[in-house]
Structure 1
Amino acid sequence: MNHAVDASSPSILIIGTGFGGLGMAIELKNSGIHSFTMLEKASGVGGTWRDNTYPGAACDVQSHFYSFSFEPKHDWSRKFGMQPEILGYMEQCVAKYGLAGHIRFNKEVASAGFDEDTNQWTVTTIDGDVFTVDILITATGQLNQPAWPNLPGMETFNGRVFHSARWDHDYELNGKNVGVIGTGASAIQFVPEIVPRVKSLSLFQRSAAWVLPKPDRPFYRWEQTLFQKIPAWDRLYRYLIYWKNESRALAFTRFNSLLEIFAWQAKRFAKSEVRDPHKLRNLIPDYQIGCKRILISNDWYRAIDQSHVDLVTTGIERIVEDGVVTSDGALHRVDALIVGTGFAASEFLSPMKITGRNGLSLNQAWANGSEAYKGMTVSGFPNLFMLYGPNTNLAHNSIVYMLESQFRYVLSCIETLRAEPGVAMDVKPDRLRDFSATVQKKLQTSVWESGCHSWYLDKNGKNTVNWPGFTFAYRKETRRVDPDDYVFLQPSQ
């Protein structure tokens, strides 16, 4: 079945309904553009906040700054939002801005191809629906494909296995012997929640994480009232959070030694919470703080210190019917395995097959690692705009702020295209090359290049995920499109 989106020019398709897709849709509506359709592979909106329903799921950016500047929420229940409340906020945005009519649920995109004759994108879903549009915007995020560890024997395990991003709420953990693989950002939230319920917990840690206390607490009623009654106070509060977070960019990208203050704080925190000297030794990382994501939690160390929690630092050799065998030959018997090994963050847009001009596939264009001009456009793929694309992730501030910069840039591109209906814009290869070279050069002085193996790096060891500077610098660079960066193509039909 073929769908042409809304006749008024230009027709737009957005893939994904997380923060990126929803925010872009709201901004389109605010600009008077209603000719867009949104495709969502799941049955509800929310992206990573819909998928990650594990116990304790929460954000590590302050609630007031992990929300749209144009849609403030005054009644956040605590300083750092929990998953149900963040998802609720996103659903409220859908209702308030009338987005439901634009969304097609259970429509996973299989492929998208650019037609040089018509300057249009043809997007095909897994169930065979076809959409033909002028502009394609991807908002698939970086945290939507769960990464599974490559462990021999996983299929022989007799117990229950699930990934933390696909939590099995029907499985009763009470009184069970549970194994958890991975000690990253998800595990640090769900492990303390399940420790009181399980009979025993074997925690398989490949490398320790740097953990800092989380300055979290519920908001008082009077604080919520202030936010609501005095909009200027709400804005000032956001502003203060922004600069507090932003100041840390210098430490991550230029002056890595500044991070040692945090390392000292993390070590002191661990020593005050962990009594078992063996565990304490293995919980302090051997790599520079900040090289991997710094985690925040108030109950992680206390949970690991429990006597029925076994911190296993020997590598996993294989999975057997009744548990996990480590490389020292020990068998760790478990009834269930929870995999908390994160996401394939550097595999942007996969598993969709995207084909641009001259039959060039995105995989071919990215043979040496993902790159995009300003994190949004790729040469050879006209009128394709990526939200939260390569090198736009942050370690120090809110991704929602980066997304809002991108909304503005994409709108500027759409305005340019509206002036000449039928035309397609393709970023010049030298502009993309120069931009990527600058990004990679700046990354060389960053803490992420200090030698650890993190999810920021792709299989070739290239950091295709993080932005190497200030978010206000990114906002300045994306304020509006410079037409000189692009080639404008006439349709050949």
Structure 2
Amino acid sequence: MPHPDSPTAAVTRESHDVEALIIGSGLSGIGAAIALRRAGVHDVVLVEKADDLGGTWRDNTYPGCACDVPSALYSYSFAPNPEWTRAFAGQPEIRAYLRDTAAAYGITPLIRFGTEVIRAQWEPGDARWHVRTTRDHYTARFLLSAAGPWHEPLVPDVPGLADFPGEVFHSSRWRHDHDLTGARVAVIGSGASAVQFVPAIQPRVGRLHLFQRTAQWVLPKPDHYVPRAERLLMRRLPAAQRALRNAEYAALEALGIGFRHPSLLRAVQKVGTLHLRAAVRDPRLRRALTPDYTLGCKRLLLSNTYYPALTRPNVTVHPTAVEAVRGSRVIGADGSGADVDTVILGTGFHILDMPIAQRVFDADGASLDEHWKGSPDAYLGTTVSGFPNAFVLLGPHLGTGHSSAYTVLEAQLAYVAGAVRHSRSAGWTSMDVRPEVQAAFNAEVRQALPSTVYNAGGCSSYYLDGNGVNSFSWPWSTGRMRRRLARFDPEAYVTTSGTPEQADGRARP
């Protein structure tokens, strides 16, 4: 990624003024555009650095890629899809759903593809965000960051990896032109992506070496093909699909109670233990795959094929982190090693150190990343003091270990729409959340987190930021999240009024 101010970073050609500019065209960006138009904002532009929409579901095309949330719940509530062919949809269907939804709601023509944000800065003089991209320059009244936390691949700093003579790629940048037939493959990482692609590639490769730093809790996946008759029923009786969605939501919320009261997870953890025992007969391998922390402390994984794949003769599990790569040999921290010709990184994403935070600046030129100092923070996970008229979608402290990203997003979008409507009707030129309000919310979250499984489960997960602080998790139910975000609270904000030309950048109480 070029430095935001490097001379090769951008060449601007035209200038456009819009009411709302959205960064990204994944599920967050598409949903935000729909919500804004429903709120009466029609002058909306989405800037997308890729050549197609879809975000996470555009980038992740690895074999076996699928959702780990039930399909009926993994969609916008206002745009149900009766055509899912599986209870847990695969990547091609999810991507097609996003494309179809964007087209149906008139969002696709609003997207400027091949347009990467280089720098976005708040200018109080005209109460506008000034956004420089690789194509044009934009000024916008409202700025929405929908870049997403599961977007930028995390490549580990392993000594010697850069000099590996074979093929190296991240699971989200899958090399479909690289034939794995008969290959000697090292997989680094055993998280959500690896749990899906390892069983998909195991039958084809010659040897597969899985380097597992931490064992994962893997539960059976209640996936199945959805018969045509059932899809026809969902199409003709929308109430049936709503009922299914509500039932799945209720089931996941019931599971969420355990995340807030970890002792209740023992029964679920027993299911995971039995699932492992049934699939893996070798006591030594079973010990290597048995987690030593409470289920839910890390992301909960679902698979019926992962454990069986690891028992195959061509698979070796190395229960260790990777220490180095020397030539064609991948070496574990325990001294074990493997000679391979392909390395696949299942090492996740920049979840809390999102690169977009290095490109969004306040009026004084300090970046969002500099404000956060390694620990992202936002009022209700949505607005950040010092960044007026800006919203972070799927932001800090809104993540759950049990529910759907769509549930979180739609709760946020209700708040964003309310904020925009209120700002327009009140004649505000800017709205900036009060620092004491943001601090109070942050303190409330930090007080609630220690008793949750995210913090008390005895593991190190991506929920923890570089400072060791849980900046990811919402410590309550999603019902409480929806209630907290249902009503915009104008008293939480410092505002300016009048025309942009009259605004002098000094906020009034």
TM (norm. structure 1) is: 0.96
Structure 2 counterpart of 1:276, from 275, 282, 296: 282
Q: Is the 8 A contact 2:147 2:356 kept in 1?
A: no
Greater CA deviation, 295-304 or 23-32? 23-32
Aligned to 2:161: 154
CA distance in 2, matches of 1:243, 1:281: 34
* C-alpha contact 1:109 1:352 (8 A) present in aligned 2: no
Partners of 2:26 and 2:146 within 8 A in 1: yes
Residue of structure 1 aligned with 2:103, choices 95, 110, 122? 95
| In 1, Cα distance between equivalents of 2:84 and 2:432 | 42
Equivalent of 1:396 in 388, 394, 402: 402
Map 1:442-457 onto structure 2 (within 5 A): 442-450=448-456, 451-457=458-464
1:116 matched residue in structure 2: 124
- Of 485, 498, 504 in structure 2, the residue corresponding to residue 478 of structure 1 is 485
Corresponding residue number in structure 2 for 1:168: 175
Give the counterpart of 1:429 among 431, 435, 438.
435
Q: Does 1:130 align with 2:137?
A: yes
Q: Percent identity?
A: 42
The equivalent residue for 2:447 is 441
- Return the alpha-carbon distance in structure 2 between the equivalents of residues 380 and 113 of structure 1: 11
Amino acid paired to 2:439: R
Distance 1:177 1:191 in 2: 13
Structure 1 Cα separation of the partners of residues 315 and 374 of structure 2: 42
What's 2:500 paired with? none
Select the residue among 324, 332, 339 that pairs with 1:326.
Answer: 332
2:298 is aligned to 292
Read off the aligned partner of 1:164 and give its amino acid letter: S
Superposition pairs of residues 8-407 of structure 1, within 5 angstroms: 11-125=19-133, 127=134, 129-253=136-260, 255-350=261-356, 352-367=358-373, 369-407=375-413
Alignment RMSD (CA, Å): 1.4
Q: Which amino acid aligns with 2:198?
A: V
- 1:5 aligned to 2:9? no
The code of the aligned residue for 2:479 comes to F
Over 3 Å counting, the alpha-carbon distance change for 1:386 and 1:315 in structure 2 is closer
Do the aligned residues in 2 keep the contact of 1:178 with 1:201 (CA within 8 Å)? yes
Tell me which amino acid in the other structure corresponds to 1:26: I
Task: Find out whether 1:487 has 2:494 as its counterpart.
Answer: yes
Distance 1:328 1:259, change over 3 A: closer
Q: Which residue of 1 aligns with 2:8?
A: none
Residues 232 and 328 of structure 1, relative CA distance in 2, 3 Å threshold: closer
**Aligned with 1:458 (options 462, 465, 478):** 465
Q: Distance in 1 between matches of 2:358 and 2:366?
A: 14
- Post-superposition offset of 1:334: 0.4
Gap regions ≥5 residues in structure 1: none
Q: Deviations over 1:279-304 (max 9, x none)?
A: 11100111111111110000000000
The letter for the 2-side match of 1:401 is T
> Offset of 1:420 from its aligned partner?
4.2
Runs of 4+ off more than 4 Å? none
Deviation, 1:352, is 3.7
Answer yes or no: is 1:418 the counterpart of 2:418.
no
CA gap 1:183/1:421 in 2 versus in 1, 3 angstroms:
same
Q: Residue 475 of structure 2 aligns with which residue?
A: 468
How many angstroms does 1:368 deviate by? 5.6
Q: What is the aligned partner in structure 1 of residue 10 from structure 2?
A: none
In structure 1, C-alpha distance between the alignment counterparts of 2:143 and 2:363, rounded to whole Å:
14
The alpha-carbon deviation at position 350 of structure 1 amounts to 3.2
Q: Call closer, same or farther: CA 1:65–1:315 in 2, change over 3 Å.
A: closer
Alpha-carbon separation, structure 2, partners of 1:314 and 1:364: 34
Deviation at 1:359, TM superposition (A): 3.3
User: How far has the Cα of 1:111 moved from its partner?
Assistant: 1.3
Give, as a single letter, the amino acid of the residue that structure 2 aligns with 1:430: E
2:237 alignment partner AA: I
Secondary structure of 1:202's counterpart equals strand
Letter in structure 2 aligned against 1:186: S
How far is the alpha carbon of 1:357 from its aligned partner?
3.3
Code of the aligned partner of 2:209: S
Q: Which amino acid aligns with 1:240?
A: A
TM-score (norm 2): 0.93
Shift of the 16–467 alpha-carbon distance from structure 1 to 2, 3 Å rule, reads same
Distance in 2, matches of 1:328 and 1:87, equals 40
Structure 2 residue identity aligned to 1:140: A
CA contact (8 A) 1:380 1:426 kept: yes
Structure 2 Cα separation of the partners of residues 359 and 337 of structure 1: 40
What's the counterpart of residue 6 of structure 2? none
Distance across 1 between alignment mates of 2:120 and 2:309:
46
Contact 2:186–2:344 (CA under 8 A) maintained in structure 1 = yes
Shift of 1:329: 4.1
- Which amino acid is 1:4 matched to? H
Q: What letter is aligned with 1:5? A: D
Instruction: Tell me the CA shift for residue 481 of structure 1.
Output: 0.8
Equivalent residues of 1:41, 1:108 under 8 A apart? yes
Per-residue CA distance 1:8-44 (angstroms, 9 max, x = gap) = xxx1000011111101111222333210100011111
Instruction: Measure, in 2, the Cα distance between the counterparts of 1:117 and 1:139.
Output: 26
